[in-house]
Amino acid sequence: MFGFGVKDLGIDLGTANILVYIRGEGVVMQEPSVVAVQQHTKEIVAVGEEAKQMIGRTPENITAIRPLKDGVIADFDVAQAMLRYFIDKARGRFSFFKPVVVVGIPSGITAVEERAVKEAALQAGAKEVQLIREPMAAAIGAGLPVEEATGNMIVDIGGGTTEVAVISLGGIVTDQSIRVGGDGMDISIVNYLKKKYNLMIGERTAEEIKINFGSAYFLDTPEDLERRHSRYAVRGRDLLEGLPKTIEITGDEVRSALEEPLARMVEGIRYCLENTPPELSADLIDRGIILAGGGSQLYGFDRLVRDVTGMPVYVAEDPLLAVAKGTGLVVDNLSEWKNIIGSDK
C-alpha cells in the first residue's frame, strides 16, 4: 500500500467487465463494469462485483449503472469515477506517482469517443494515456506474432462489441467492429422468453442461462443431442398476470434465441475475410482464426465459425484475459510497442 514506485497499468475497459494489469505483476483485478449511484447526491455507493449484485434489486434512490455501452463511454462522470476507483485500488492510494495507462478500445471507436476515454483516464489519475485497439491487444495477449509479415486473424467477443481484425507487420490490415457481444446475447434471450412465454426475466438471469445453458451450434453427437433436449428451469414474472412464474426451456430454444446476434458476428468475420488481401488469405488458411473474449467460450461457437468459413478455428488460452494481457505486455515494454500503438489506428 505504501509503495513509492510507479505502477503503470494496462486496462481492458470492457462494457461488461474491467480488467486491470499492473506492470510486472499481471492481471490483478477483474470485476464487472457496474457502478451503483445514489440518485439525489450522485454519490458512488458501490463499484464492480458489489454493484452488479444490486442490478434489478436497488431501492428507488439507488441506481446500478453500466457507464459503458457498446464498448464506449455512455456516462462520462460515472465512467470517470469507476476508473478512478480501479486506478487508485491498483496503484495504492498512497503512491505519490501517477501511472502511465494503456487502455484497450474498440476498433470502430470515433475520435470523440477516443477523447472521452483519454479524458476520463487522465481525470481519474493517469499521468499519460495510450490507446490500443482491442483486436490488436487481444492478438498480442493471445501470443500471435503480430509484428511478422504473416496474416493473423483475431475475433474478440466482448460484452458490448465483437472486434474482428486481420493483422500483419504490426498493423491492422482489415477490421470490423460489430456492436453486439455478450450483452446482445442476453437481450436476445430476454426478448425470446418475453415473446414466446410472456415471461419477463432480468439481465442477470439471462446471463446465467447463456453461460450455463447457451449453445451456438449442434451436431448429432451424443453430447450435443443431450444439450439440445435437456431442460432448464427459468424463474421470472408473468407479463399477463404480473405474478412470479417458472417455466422450462430446452437447449434448442436457447440456441434459437441466440441466432440473430451470432449471425451478426459471423457476418463480421466473413466481411473481414472477403476484404483480406490474397497473400494474407493464404496465411490464414494455414494459421486459422483465433477466438478471444468471454463470448468465445459459448458452447459450439468455434464450430459455428469453422463451419461457416471452412477454416481452422482455435480458442485462445485464457480468452477472457487476452485484451488485458495485451495491454499489459505493451505497458511492460512501452518503447518496444510504441510503433504498434501508433500504427494500429
Summarize pLDDT for 54-82 with one digit per residue, the tens. Answer: 877 778 888 888 898 877 888 888 888 89
Three-state secondary-structure class, residue 343: helix
C-alpha distances out from residue 217 to 74, 161, 298, Å: 33, 21, 9
- Predicted local confidence at residue 345, as pLDDT: 45
Q: Tell me, what DSSP letter sits at residue 15?
A: S
- With bands split at pLDDT 50, 70 and 90, how would you rate the model's confidence at 3? very low
pLDDT of 96: 67
Measured distance CA(290)–CA(175) in Å, rounded: 14
pLDDT of 77 reads 87
Q: Answer yes or no: is pLDDT of 302 > 60.
A: yes
Q: What is the mean pLDDT of residues 273-285?
A: 93
Query: Binning pLDDT at 50, 70 and 90, where does residue 342 land?
Result: low
pTM equals: 0.89
- At residue 53, the pLDDT reads 86
Strand, coil or helix: 30: strand
pLDDT band, very low/low/confident/very high, at 5 (cuts 50, 70, 90)? low
Query: Angle 91-161-294 (CA atoms, 0-180°, nearest 5)?
Result: 65
Give pLDDT tens digits for 138-183: 999 999 999 999 999 999 999 999 999 999 999 999 999 999 999 9
Q: What mean pLDDT do residues 320-337 have?
A: 91
pLDDT tens digits for 205-230?
999 999 999 999 998 899 999 999 99
pLDDT of the residue at 91 = 73
Tell me the torsion sign for CA atoms 176, 138, 216, 190: negative
Q: Are 14 and 327 in contact (CB under 8 A)?
A: no
**Main-chain dihedrals φ then ψ at residue 56, nearest 5 degrees:** 80, 5
pLDDT value at position 39? 84
Q: What is the pLDDT of residue 93?
A: 53
Q: Which residues pair with 233 in a beta bridge?
A: 248
The predicted structure's pLDDT at residue 303: 96
Residue 87 has pLDDT above 50, yes or no: yes
202-to-6, 199, 228, 243, 339 alpha-carbon distances in Å: 42, 10, 23, 15, 44
Helices (H), 124-237: 134-141, 182-197, 203-213, 222-229
175, 164 contact by CB (below 8 A): yes
Residue 131: name the closest of 153, 159, 157, 109 by CA.
109
* Cβ atoms 136, 129 nearer than 8 A: no
Residue-averaged pLDDT of the chain: 90
DSSP letter, residue 299: B
Name every residue whose Cβ is closer than 8 Å to that of residue 70 and which is 6 or more positions away in sequence. Answer: 15, 106, 160, 161, 179
102-148 tens-digit pLDDT: 999 888 888 888 898 899 999 888 999 999 999 999 999 999 999 99
Task: Say what the pLDDT of residue 1 is.
Answer: 40
The confidence score (pLDDT) of residue 220 equals 85
Instruction: State pLDDT tens for residues 226-278.
Output: 999 999 999 999 999 999 999 999 999 999 999 999 999 999 999 999 999 99
Question: Domains in the chain, start-ordered, CATH in brackets?
Answer: 9-137+322-343 (3.30.420.40), 142-180+260-319 (3.30.420.40), 182-256 (3.90.640.10)
Q: CA-to-CA distance for 197 and 211, rounded, in angstroms?
A: 21
* pLDDT tens digit sequence for 19-49: 999 988 899 999 999 999 988 888 889 999 9
**Residue 14: is its pLDDT beyond 80?**
yes
